Structure 1
């Protein structure tokens, strides 16, 4: 059974004062001029998964101005577990809350119900900028496979901040570090295992299909040689690095220092040295591989969010992308400035035009 968001209501969210979308499990093509509010719809859909959405914005930043009353999103999710009514909202900039079928729930619960992956223009420089962005990309991908990944990552980051505080205060007594490093080591081992399994899943999914997009060679790299594998290994590594960490005032070993390496296999060229178009094509290939791997693993593809993806592809590549999306039976929400960018989809998709009038977005089903 396909996973699809078949109803979406936006209230005081970004440029949308009161908007509503009704659709089925086919791809959703959203078109309109720049600034009309297209990406805001994708951001709303991304908030049906854990985290801060495609823009990594705070709850306060998402509220519509000038009212600044807060915002609310309501959606009907159809999936293997049946229909789920999901609400998420923020009042006056407070942390967002979630209800599932009218019962309060933690954000982490969304990871088990709604797998959402995305490709947005801000990711176009993924291969040439810092490792932090690549770790974030890998962790979002890992979260789609392992719903507990975010919880492990959050616990690791929180505990590491406490350890870093001790390091900056030049605390040398090992007893202060023991409990923190044990918790960090447990989370670090799980984070590393999830990332490695994700790299393997993406690699196998790319090799198992014929695609119009380039296949990427992937490798999880560490800043200092081989990575520890088990919780005991990480615990030992943290203890051994403690004196260096005190000098640096921060933790120098661990999964927060890893990097994702990618290369264009057919050309034998690192992704960082590829052309802009090739880098984009590699990203699309990985997003499609992620979707195929999930479909194989859990029986249904994820919801895909592809912001302005068509604008960077020629007509043949656009048609190939649409063919692969429909073959996946994935609900893909896509944006573009012109409706003709989606001509190759024809009746395989549903269409929404977005316009802006006086700072308020308005939707029309085409």
Structure 2
């Protein structure tokens, strides 16, 4: 998915040093999203949880948009013309609806509920995304993964994977990246990652063994869920720093609750995000934008989309102030909901 903001902010992201939680404990920081309209007056609005002031990355996960359920009769659905990416992977995961994907590798695929579409745009790739005519309700998440320095210029790639669900106590789990509850995704990643949809039965509780070297984020889609005793409402994300070896999820709803669990080892590199590009410097972004505007072979061409490609927005006149994760004591002051 494109970041279709008219004036995207340049963000320098990076983890900051902080003490790990004591073994067996799991402090939870509650992150609330901001609404971002993607396009004109009938366009979709997404709830953006990453990046934000109190947290810019969870592992290598650097961007999280949560959208729907949207009646496409009201919003017009999704119609994102060909646009570029560098230095990242896009992870598309739907709860309902269907999206047609085309990219400059020649891939033509469909994003469907419970199916992973992962696209690698290292040195450069372009793609389009359009909700299909048979889609009435569009609902899902769009995620980005930052590529580490050693791999950020890797060749473009596209992968599709349908994870088999596994059950644990009152939960049904689909692991699309990494491993959890005995399920292992075959899709390789450039840094250690976890991505899984977890659906909890009404009033169910599950305790999951997780990698203590990972930091984790639980995004609630439906229901009210307690993460290690801290309540999370729909669209909120609970962050847990490295240290604990288990996470406990409790569905406090009388209906099923759906969540997405993200995790990974802390990403220690600084990155600059602007529009659909990730680089290491302002100059990286300027070069990527110039190559896209000049129709460079760097991004290739998307065949089959009935329209023009997206032009890049105008660059800011100056580099925006660097932004990273505040130290632990500063995050305490920023979040009244932290437990």
More helix by share: 1
Q: Bin the TM-score by the shorter chain.
A: under 0.3
TM-score (norm 1): 0.25
More strand by share: 2
TM-score (norm 2): 0.27
Compare CA radii of gyration and give the structure with the larger one. 1
